[in-house]
Chain A
Amino acid sequence: MNTEPTAGRTGGKGTVLIVDDDTALAEMLTIVLSNEGFETVVCGSGDKALAMFRDKRPDIVLLDLMLPGMDGVDVCKAIRAESGVPIVMLTAKNDTVDIVVGLESGADDYIVKPFKPKELVARIRARLRRLGEEAPETITIADLAIDVAGHSVKRSGEEIALTPLEFDLLLCLARKPWQVFTREVLLEQVWGYRHAADTRLVNVHVQRLRSKIERDPEHPEIVVTVRGVGYKANAG
């Protein structure tokens, strides 16, 4: 899995793969993102999205959920199966089910149409924002060893593959074990939201993180829920 921080690789701010069948919107997105200094690649159908993803190696994917051919959710799963690249869903549906399905298929964040260009750019920046050059540091939480600079998590020498977002989430919790993080604080620190947003993002990603790092995701021991408040990392 590609977990390398690649922002800045192309010289600009990064390459954005836009997967959307609406040509007008895709063109508009290209204009806005180019103005902001991003490189863009447009793909008009779900079937070709994976091939184009492999070909262009983008830094971030903007993915419309409703696509002709392969569904957005399936595209998301396919990309997630081979890469940890940040994926931001574009959705026209504000229904809980659609958003949760999208997040569960591996998207890091979502943005509901119609959105403001600034909002989109802020989301993309937040997802591309890596924590810069980290000092070599290893944090141990329960039986997990987190290599901060190397962006890797190991359990008894065996590497656990996490997406950058999941890594950030775990790191955020693990840096201050025993401190309880509310969902709002996590949204701010991990997702980069300035003001209140959808706490379902946190719920879904905590579930995904648990399914990877917990021995028994049904009875989590590392990332525990504090009822009515939020989450904390259990150092014991």
Chain B
Amino acid sequence: MTATQAGTTRRWRTVVGLPARYLRAVHLRWLRSIQARVVIGTVVLSAIVIALVGWMLTRQVAEGLTDSKREQSVSEARAGIHLAQEQLNAQPVTDTRSLSDTTGKLVQSLSTRGGTARQYEVVLLGPLTAKPICEQVGKKKSRDVSCQSIPNQLLKDVSTQDGVAWAYSTMSFRDGGSEPAIVIGAQIHAPSTGDSFALFYLYSMSDQADTLSLIKRAMVSAGLALVILVAGVAWLVTRQVVTPVRLARRIAERLAAGRLEERMHVRGQDDIARLGISFNQMAASLQRQIRQLEELSRMQRRFVSDVSHELRTPLTTVRMAADVLHDTRGDFDPPTARAAELLQVELDRFESLLTDLLEVSRFDAGAARLDLELVDLNECAERSVAACRALAERYGSDVELIIDARPCLVQCDTRRVERIIRNLVVNAIHYSHAPRIEVRVAADEQAAALTVRDWGVGLHAGESTLVFNRFWRADRARTRSAGGTGLGLAIALEDAQLHGGWLQAWGEPDKGAQFRLTLPRDAGAELTRSPLPLVPREERPIEIGQSYERLDLGVGES
């Protein structure tokens, strides 16, 4: 496309764009406003009805006007024609010359018969046998009527048959003016010469036309006024209904936004008022319940906070005292020294249990808040795995970290994400008895994932969801000395869900287990797939016909 063409297209778009934008705005208004729809609909319908009625009325009035005029004119013309025939019969004419004179006189007398306020013109054409001569007689307001005023069809009818014939026509004058008229004609015969003449009466219908146009104008104005009135009425009526509805909508929006004290203003006792009353009752009930819940949640938080403070201060003292005893246990006799050691170890457990319990109750109270920042998940994994190295060494496990070369930036709460990773790794170390644990990080455009894989005892069927239950232990008989509080995975799951992420587990007896954390890269975004498979590649069944669950777990594998 050349520059000129582009310019033209742009200009064309601008030209086209304006009405299109306007149309879109109108369309939107049409879609969104009941009032606009009702008003426009009413106006269109009433305009159609009024136009139809007006058209029929004008037609009837026009017919009435012309019919009466026609009847009156025809009877008058009939009398005149009769008189002309009689005069022609009474005057014996011998030659063409005198005939011309006679007809001239005849027309003169006919046209003067109407008096000064003459309402008609007379035209005599004839003799019909020879070339017809247009004998125009009489002048109306000094204007000569043109012979063109007589429709050819009427002249033909009159020439060929007896009796009176009539037609509507336009009376045109020699000076160029014209007005609507009715033309009535008949044959008259001159008995002496045997010639036939066509005698026409032309009655002006301009009065009727004027009346009709007046009526039309009146009808159009009345119709317009009526349409405007109907539009106004429709607007007012819909306003009565729509205003409270719109008010209710606004109030509902404010309620939804958390302004629970908002209420509708209720006036009267009609349906709208009752809607308002019900609405207000609903709002009040909602407010009451939300207040109660808020109060409960606040009390719970307060309680947690108080318990936290009240327990932690004495625990700190005990902890420090135990530490002093522990440091000087060399001076004690063996049982007392062992007691000091046990005190120390169990205080550690008590402390982590307290911390976990407080964390869980914070989740339960809905008091957990995300402290979001953009961090590299690779670094989080490195730090978390590093923090678990000492424990891994103690249990004889080797933790391997496989990360992407590229930084894997995720919007998340570092503290929580690192806690999830730590919990997963610690869980793998504690429960799998596996010599090797593998932590893998990967990401795509939408999500980042981290898997913790172990080749340990694995999980039995159905346990992959149970592991996230609080205080759940894979083997009831297993000693508690395995460590952990039993809350680690539950807290990890809550942390993941707080991010809008997934935390899932897979495991099979003796094949090991894999935990997968998937986080949206932008906080709050919807997760649809994970960059890493939940079921490890080497464990995926190749044959088809496996259970739905197992196929489904493969989501995210490319």
User: Contact check: which of A31, A95, A113, A199 meets B312 at CB < 8 Å?
Assistant: A113
Closest 6 CB pairs between A and B? A92-B309, A113-B312, A92-B312, A114-B316, A114-B315, A113-B316
A sample of 17 more A-B contacts (CB under 8 A), given A25-B316, A117-B324, A195-B387, is A28-B317, A35-B324, A92-B309, A92-B312, A92-B313, A94-B358, A113-B312, A113-B315, A114-B315, A114-B316, A115-B319, A116-B323, A117-B319, A196-B383, A196-B387, A196-B418, A228-B376
How many residues belonging to B are interface residues under a CB distance threshold of 8 Å?
Answer: 33
When the two chains form their complex, are residues A66 and B309 in contact, meaning their CB atoms are under 8 A apart? yes
A31 to B415, CA, bound (A): 33
When the two chains form their complex, are residues A200 and B321 in contact, meaning their CB atoms are under 8 A apart? no
Q: Provide 28 A-B residue pairs closer than 8 Å at the C-beta atoms, listed in order of the A residue.
A: A22-B317, A25-B313, A28-B316, A31-B320, A35-B324, A66-B309, A92-B309, A93-B305, A93-B308, A94-B308, A94-B355, A96-B371, A113-B315, A113-B316, A114-B312, A114-B315, A114-B319, A116-B323, A117-B324, A118-B323, A184-B383, A196-B383, A196-B387, A196-B418, A228-B374, A228-B375, A228-B376, A228-B409
Task: Given the known inter-chain contacts A93-B305, A114-B351, A117-B323, please indicate yes or no for A24 contacting B383, CB distance below 8 A.
Answer: no
Asked if A227 is at the interface (CB within 8 A of a chain B CB), the reply is yes
Asked if B369 is at the interface (CB within 8 A of a chain A CB), the reply is yes
User: Chain B: which residue is nearest A196 at the CB level?
Assistant: B383
Contact residues in B for A148 (Cβ distance below 8 Å) = none
The main secondary structure of chain B at its interface with chain A is helix
Q: Which residues of A contact B (CB under 8 A)?
A: 22, 24-25, 28-29, 31-32, 35, 66, 92-96, 113-118, 184, 195-196, 198-200, 227-228
Contact residues in B for A117 (Cβ distance below 8 Å) = 319-320, 323-324
Asked if B462 is at the interface (CB within 8 A of a chain A CB), the reply is no
Per-residue interface assignment for chain B, residues 307 to 344, with 1 indicating a CB less than 8 Å from any chain A CB and 0 otherwise:
01100111111111101100000000000000000000
User: Chain B: which residue is nearest A22 at the CB level?
Assistant: B313
Contact residues in B for A227 (Cβ distance below 8 Å) = 374
Total CB contacts across the A-B interface at under 8 A: 72
When the two chains form their complex, are residues B317 and A24 in contact, meaning their CB atoms are under 8 A apart? yes
> Which residues 388-413 in B have Cβ within 8 Å of A in the complex?
407, 409
Contact residues in A for B367 (Cβ distance below 8 Å) = 95
Contact residues in A for B373 (Cβ distance below 8 Å) = 199
When the two chains form their complex, are residues A93 and B371 in contact, meaning their CB atoms are under 8 A apart? no
Asked if B464 is at the interface (CB within 8 A of a chain A CB), the reply is no
What is the CB-to-nearest-CB distance from A72 to chain B, in angstroms, rounded to a whole number? 12
User: Contact check: which of B305, B312, B320, B415 meets A32 at CB < 8 Å?
Assistant: B320
User: Chain A: which residue is nearest B415 at the CB level?
Assistant: A198
Task: Given the known inter-chain contacts A114-B351, A196-B383, A228-B409, please indicate yes or no for A95 contacting B315, CB distance below 8 A.
Answer: no
A32 to B316, CA, bound (A): 12
A199 to B376, CA, bound (A): 14
A44 to B422, CA, bound (A): 39
When the two chains form their complex, are residues A28 and B383 in contact, meaning their CB atoms are under 8 A apart? no
A116 to B348, CA, bound (A): 10
When the two chains form their complex, are residues A93 and B309 in contact, meaning their CB atoms are under 8 A apart? yes
User: Chain A: which residue is nearest B311 at the CB level?
Assistant: A92
Task: Given the known inter-chain contacts A31-B324, A195-B387, A196-B383, please indicate yes or no for A113 contacting B313, CB distance below 8 A.
Answer: yes
Asked if B146 is at the interface (CB within 8 A of a chain A CB), the reply is no
A28 to B376, CA, bound (A): 41
Interface centre among A115, A196, A199 (most CB of B within 10 A): A196
A196 to B415, CA, bound (A): 10
A92 to B409, CA, bound (A): 33
Asked if B42 is at the interface (CB within 8 A of a chain A CB), the reply is no
When the two chains form their complex, are residues B305 and A95 in contact, meaning their CB atoms are under 8 A apart? yes
What is the CB-to-nearest-CB distance from B321 to chain A, in angstroms, rounded to a whole number? 6
What is the CB-to-nearest-CB distance from B43 to chain A, in angstroms, rounded to a whole number? 55
A220 to B213, CA, bound (A): 82
> Which residues 78-133 in B have Cβ within 8 Å of A in the complex?
none
Asked if B287 is at the interface (CB within 8 A of a chain A CB), the reply is no
When the two chains form their complex, are residues B309 and A25 in contact, meaning their CB atoms are under 8 A apart? no
When the two chains form their complex, are residues B369 and A25 in contact, meaning their CB atoms are under 8 A apart? no
A113 to B317, CA, bound (A): 9
